[in-house]
Structure 1
Amino acid sequence: MLEGPSLEESEPGAEAPCSGSCHTQRVLQTLNAYRGSGTLTDAVLRAGGHDFPSHRAALGTGSAHFCSLFAAGQPELGQAVVPEMLGAGRTRAAAALAVALDYDYVFGSGGQLRAEDEAGLREACARFLEGSLRAADSRALRHVPAAFPPPSLAGRCGRGRRQGFTEAVRHADFLELAPEDVVALLANPGAGRGRARKPVFEAAMRWVRHDAPARRGQLAALLEHVRLPLLAPDYFLEKVEADELLRACCECRPLLLEARACFILGREAGGLRTRPRRFMDLAEVIVVIGGCDRKGLMRLPFADAYHPESQRWTPLPSLPGYMRSEFAACTLRNDIYVSGGHINSHDVWMLSSHLHTWIKVASLHKGRWRHKMVVLHGQLFVVGGFDGLRRLHSVERYDPFSNTWESVEPLLEAVSSAAVVPCAGRLYVIGGARQDNISTDKVQCFDPKEDRWSLQSPAPFSQRCLEAVSLEDTIYVVGGLMSKIYTYHPGTDVWGEAAVLPSPVESCGVTVCDGKVHITGGRDDHGESTDRVFTFDPSSGQVEAQPSLQRCTSSHGCVTIVQSLGR
């Protein structure tokens, strides 16, 4: 079964024996004779210590697996060698037999290929492809995993697409890809790996310009997967907004406006496209600033950045001479601002993400602590708080361009330690302390267009020491020694419950990073600071414990910025 007719039995070009009138069978039998004699063979399969010369065309015709193997591997002229085909638990003889059976099947001698033999062939082909695929083989990298299921090959193809993105889009094959394949390549998390964000945009435009009349209609769909807000502003102005194809594309205008708004207002204005791709050297990191120690006796001066993907902590500059608690912190255009603090501080500091240093900016008109500070429409708002004698109605607004504070419409009810959060273009103040032993369930809403406050549906709790964040036009509230995460939907003015935490907490840090709500530190029901961290995923509704903070802390700052992982 392993040997075909010799040349003496069937000379090249001579009519091979055929049991029927089928021309196809005669051709296969002739090729089988050639295979046995090594005539015109251009591939060698090795298994069980045996070499099996073959013809790539015949193998590819008879087997989709071999067709994918040779098409994707693109071996040069000459004999392509497919290495050892030894699967787990196989003997060398069994592996050789599997190949022989496959040969008989492909070349028409009547053998049947068993499932276990085909599995061995698949494994061997996968190993061959792992060593042969190149990033430039765009189409092969996209379709090979479907033909060869082994996870190792699928992983290798994925890594190839990520690591070789720049090489792949420069290859001639890229220009011939179907629109859906281009979208898949641009949407891959590894596109634009490292500092390179421009290649993703340039690849999309290069593909469109290859046949602009037919492809200009795909522009908006492609730009959906280009992180325009992460481009350098000067490049965006000179290369993106000035591009004639984009200027003529009405469907692209919202994407360009979104990017421009992000350059002016910061990440407040953007969504998914403002987040770095997973394999960039840029990443969202959580910054934990200061706070109180376990017993609440010491004020912590530390500032540290945490990258959830690598679980790595990086120290940041400590705020000069700033060892206070119950201050407020937020981010504006990727810079971190800290204001006020115990006791009655007027100070405001900014940690510049470019200069990597703290800078003192204009002071508050009214010193305060137990207040909150948030960003709305590119400006800082400091809301409520305590001055040591009474709760405060006052609200101040900061213009970063003029470095000035101004007073705006005061709260309807003075509160401290409330949850304050921007959402859908408005400012929401939830709960908080009215007096030392009295908390409120009121929800106060500020509309900057009308410059006035109004009351919304009350919260299903009356608590202080609350924190809140907004994500996809939904507000998430935690703290107040509550075990639940509550939701509020401004569009419908309806409250709900999202999840249950393992234990109650207050005065914690809350921020959104990588589409999840991160809850850091805080005080437990014994009044002690903790180092626990939990994440809540709105898409799954699940709460998961995460690696602990570096130290127990409460009443601290907790924000998210974009940072270079190489810093």
Structure 2
Amino acid sequence: MSPGDIIENVTYNELVRSSKECRPILHRARKAILDTQTNMFSQYTFCNPLTHPRLPTAYLLAVGGWTNGHTTNEIEAYDIRANCWFSVAENDEVPRAYLGTAIFNGSLYCIGGFDGAEYFNTVDKFDLGTNTWQEVAPMHTRRCYVSVTVLDEFIYALGGFDGEDRLKTAERYQPSTNQWTLIESMNEKRSDASCTTFHGRVYICGGFSGDECLRTAEYYNPQTDQWTMIASMSSRRSAIGVITYANHIFAIGGFSGTSRLHTVEVYNPCTGTWHNMPSMLMPRSNFGIAVIDNRLFVVGGYQGFTTTSEVECFDVETNEWSAICDMEISRSALSCCLVYKPGL
């Protein structure tokens, strides 16, 4: 309920107006709603019993990207309960597109990317409790079109483009020591790929080698510091979305070298095979991807002629895609991640 609804439907209600007990409750409720709208991720919001959310247990964040011919630093959040997007906070950070993001220990990390002129090796950390930004240790290499994921106590940054070459190098960041360490390089150069984790391994699929869009995929074993090739996808996919969902690895959309894709294929690590799944409602590349409330969401992206604000989700139980609320701004080259709310 919005403050406007409270004013119209509650404040002037005769029963409420005549009750001394109701007035302080109404005042606290209005203050709580206003505080929630102005500072969505404050500690007050999480701890106040009036604003402490029951469901969902997480928000989906859409960070950065390319919109209206320029990069953006806009961060939007999706509330699955209300099926709506809202702007989290304005910030003075350098706008980034083709970045990677990760949530670790209550902070959002924005990694690498491109501002239209410069390719970044820098990493910015946003504390979701205090709403403050801090620059942390930079990567060893500038990485635009970078693939980022979290496994155990590390944030991994794989491949990308440094402004001159497509990269096969990879590194990982340990927040507790604020240090990046190079790991074994991948078998192939990959920019515009996408990665995920499954059973203690990091999987990366597709991308662009500098010569062609890739259908290959491989995984990293941190115990042995080795990369191993797996079965190739049926389609070449650059600017792809890859995520673990329903005990499988989903490879979604992307660019084949000739067209944007709406097709989906899924890898079963137990059998080492790929199979097709229902296609998205629309083709898209360079989109955000996340799993929340046991549904797989794809966010924004590029359709081949324009960026989009459209969002859709896949439910493995119904085996269907459905459209949901659009973002407030149209963007591609964004990155998505989940914020799990403390205390839930």
What TM-score do the two structures reach when normalised by structure 1?
0.49
C-alpha distance in structure 1 between counterparts of 2:293 and 2:131, whole Å: 23
- Residue 299 of structure 2 is matched in structure 1 by 520
Q: Which amino acid aligns with 1:531?
A: S
Q: Find the partner of 1:430 among 180, 192, 205.
A: 205
Q: Find the partner of 1:382 among 139, 154, 157.
A: 157
CA contact under 8 A between 2:295 and 2:315: conserved in structure 1? yes
- Are the structure 2 counterparts of residues 356 and 196 from structure 1 closer, same or farther at C-alpha, using a change threshold of 3 Å? closer
Cα deviation for residue 462 of structure 1 reads 1.2
Alignment of 1:302 onto 2:74: yes
Cα deviation for residue 450 of structure 1 reads 1.3
- Residue 364 of structure 1 is matched in structure 2 by 139
- Are the structure 2 counterparts of residues 365 and 319 from structure 1 closer, same or farther at C-alpha, using a change threshold of 3 Å? farther
Q: Which amino acid aligns with 1:460?
A: S
Q: Is 409-418 or 335-344 further displaced after alignment? A: 335-344
Cα deviation for residue 283 of structure 1 reads 2.8
Give secondary structure in 1 for the equivalent of 2:195: strand
Alignment of 1:330 onto 2:330: no
C-alpha distance in structure 2 between counterparts of 1:484 and 1:377, whole Å: 31
CA contact under 8 A between 1:474 and 1:490: conserved in structure 2? yes
Cα deviation for residue 560 of structure 1 reads 1.2
CA contact under 8 A between 1:433 and 1:440: conserved in structure 2? yes
CA contact under 8 A between 2:207 and 2:214: conserved in structure 1? yes
Cα deviation for residue 291 of structure 1 reads 0.8
C-alpha distance in structure 2 between counterparts of 1:549 and 1:196, whole Å: 28
Q: Which amino acid aligns with 1:287?
A: L
- Residue 286 of structure 1 is matched in structure 2 by 60
Give secondary structure in 1 for the equivalent of 2:279: strand
C-alpha distance in structure 2 between counterparts of 1:539 and 1:439, whole Å: 32
CA contact under 8 A between 1:320 and 1:358: conserved in structure 2? no
Q: Percent identity?
A: 22
Cα deviation for residue 395 of structure 1 reads 0.6
- Are the structure 2 counterparts of residues 546 and 347 from structure 1 closer, same or farther at C-alpha, using a change threshold of 3 Å? same
CA contact under 8 A between 1:504 and 1:524: conserved in structure 2? yes
Cα deviation for residue 281 of structure 1 reads 6.5
C-alpha distance in structure 1 between counterparts of 2:66 and 2:316, whole Å: 29
CA contact under 8 A between 1:283 and 1:307: conserved in structure 2? no
Give secondary structure in 1 for the equivalent of 2:66: coil
Cα deviation for residue 349 of structure 1 reads 1.1
Residues 72-97 of structure 1: CA deviation (Å, up to 9, x unaligned)? xxxxxxxxxxxxxxxxxxxxxxxxxx
Cα deviation for residue 282 of structure 1 reads 6.4
Cα deviation for residue 319 of structure 1 reads 4.4
- Residue 53 of structure 1 is matched in structure 2 by none
- Residue 491 of structure 1 is matched in structure 2 by 270
- Residue 554 of structure 1 is matched in structure 2 by 332
Q: Find the partner of 1:531 among 287, 290, 309.
A: 309
Give secondary structure in 2 for the equivalent of 1:434: coil
Larger Rg: 1
Cα deviation for residue 457 of structure 1 reads 0.6
Q: Find the partner of 1:414 among 183, 186, 189.
A: 189
C-alpha distance in structure 1 between counterparts of 2:55 and 2:107, whole Å: 19
Q: Find the partner of 2:322 among 532, 541, 544.
A: 544
Alignment of 1:321 onto 2:93: yes
Higher relative contact order (CA closer than 8 Å, sequence separation 6+): 2
C-alpha distance in structure 1 between counterparts of 2:236 and 2:55, whole Å: 43
Q: Which has the higher strand share?
A: 2
Q: CA RMSD in A?
A: 2.1
Q: Which amino acid aligns with 2:70?
A: M
C-alpha distance in structure 2 between counterparts of 1:388 and 1:279, whole Å: 44
Residues 86-121 of structure 1: CA deviation (Å, up to 9, x unaligned)? xxxxxxxxxxxxxxxxxxxxxxxxxxxxxxxxxxxx
C-alpha distance in structure 1 between counterparts of 2:48 and 2:226, whole Å: 45
Size of the aligned set, in residue pairs, is 288
Runs of 5+ consecutive residues of structure 2 not aligned to the other structure: 1-45, 255-259
- Residue 442 of structure 1 is matched in structure 2 by 216
CA contact under 8 A between 1:317 and 1:358: conserved in structure 2? no
C-alpha distance in structure 1 between counterparts of 2:173 and 2:233, whole Å: 29
